[in-house]
Amino acid sequence: MELPAAYLARMRAQLGAEGYAAYLAAMALAPRRALRVNTLKSAPEELSQLLGAPLARCEGAADGFFLPEGVQPGRHPAHLAGLFYMQEPSAQTPAQLLDVRPGEAALDLCAAPGGKAGQLAAALQNDGLLVANEVSPARAAVLRRTLERLGARCAVVTAMRPDALCAALPGAFDAVLVDAPCSGEGMFRREAQAVRDWSEAAVAACAARQRAILDSAAAALRPGGRLVYSTCTFSPEENEETVAHFLRAHPDFSPVTMRRLYPHTSPGEGQFAALLVRGGGGAAQAV
Ligand code: SAM
């Protein structure tokens, strides 16, 4: 796979010589497939028995395990029954950071195909409310099927524009996840199309769209509520700069923590996630 020269130059500047070499070495390896045990329906020991193989835990992903060699997940009855969901480990970080608890009302604003929404329903233990929204009706249909398969009885699926949805439900949620559409730099090892689609202009366009989506999300959160903004890309424009833009426009929000995962620093493909609180006094802390 040949990565765009402009992208590589950005990464070299961003990571420094040592980090860049480690990143390139990680990118030369085949990605390992991983799953999340759906704790609404199963447990690691049971799933291991059903798959007929021991499950190796993914560091940093609470319910994440590497897919055992030889298992064809899509055809396995345990997959059809919703006992697990194929999800790379770093993609579990945003929902973990949001830390929803049973009884809460949560909103997943950009939810299809439903990996993180399923995780939020599991964290709620089906006790509370999950509004899983996806602007594209076709993708919302996929989201609905995912949540049905996973047994997410606390979930309602909507297909609205983020600004319209959040304006209609002011202050309604304890927790909001904005897992924004992005330039997908963290997908490069797995999706050749993401590499082909990448350009400086695409990064700028994604950043503008992200700022608008995140801006909408503010209204839906109750005072004291938690907001996680996440992407699977590495450009600062789409990550720290989007968060900084949001904080300038919404001084009632405070940053609590920001995480940047790369394929050379943690299991999986890479992720950015920032936790903000509305009306809180948390100090920013890079982890
Ligand atoms: N959270 C999902 C998961 O874990 O499975 C992945 C979400 S994906 C990164 C971003 C989603 O945002 C896509 O489903 C895409 O259709 C949607 N999207 C694209 N443009 C959007 C927009 N302008 N407003 C809101 N959502 C948008």
> pLDDT (tens digit, 0 to 9) for every residue of the chain, 287 residues total?
799 999 999 999 999 999 999 999 999 999 999 999 999 999 999 999 999 999 999 999 999 999 999 899 988 999 999 999 999 999 999 999 999 999 999 999 999 999 999 999 999 999 999 999 999 999 999 999 999 999 999 999 999 999 999 999 999 999 999 999 999 999 999 999 999 999 999 999 999 999 999 999 999 999 999 999 999 999 999 999 999 999 999 999 999 999 999 999 999 999 999 999 999 544 444 43
Strands 173-179, 221-231: pairing is parallel
163 neighbors 218 (Cβ within 8 angstroms): no
At residue 117, the pLDDT reads: 98
The answer to whether the CB of 111 is under 6 A from ligand 1 is yes
Ligand 1 atom closest to Cα of residue 114: 5
Compute, in angstroms, the gap from residue 241 CA to the centroid of ligand 1: 19
Q: What are phi and psi of 242, to 5 degrees?
A: -65, -40
Compute, in angstroms, the gap from residue 114 CA to the centroid of ligand 1: 10
Question: What's the DSSP call for residue 112?
Answer: T
At residue 99, the pLDDT reads: 98
> Which amino acid is located at 229 in the chain?
Y
Question: What's the DSSP call for residue 53?
Answer: S
How are strands ordered across the β-sheet holding 105-108? 155-158, 129-133, 105-108, 173-179, 221-231, 271-278, 253-261
Q: Whole-prediction pTM value?
A: 0.96
Q: Residue 232 catalytic? A: yes
Give the CB-side neighbour count of residue 60, counting CA atoms within 13 A. 21
At residue 221, the pLDDT reads: 98
CA angle (283 as vertex; 279, 287 as ends), nearest 5 = 125
At residue 280, the pLDDT reads: 53
Q: Which of 119, 135, 269 to mutate to test the pocket of ligand 1 (most atoms within 8 A of CB)?
A: 135
CA distance 143 to 117: 9
Q: What are phi and psi of 252, to 5 degrees?
A: -80, 0
Ligand 1 atom closest to Cα of residue 113: 5
CA distance 90 to 94: 8
The answer to whether the CB of 139 is under 6 A from ligand 1 is yes
At residue 245, the pLDDT reads: 98
The answer to whether the CB of 136 is under 6 A from ligand 1 is yes
At residue 75, the pLDDT reads: 85
Give the CB-side neighbour count of residue 64, counting CA atoms within 13 A. 23
Compute, in angstroms, the gap from residue 82 CA to the centroid of ligand 1: 22
60 neighbors 269 (Cβ within 8 angstroms): no
Compute, in angstroms, the gap from residue 55 CA to the centroid of ligand 1: 30
- The first and second tokens of residue 25, run together, are 């070495």
CA distance 227 to 256: 10
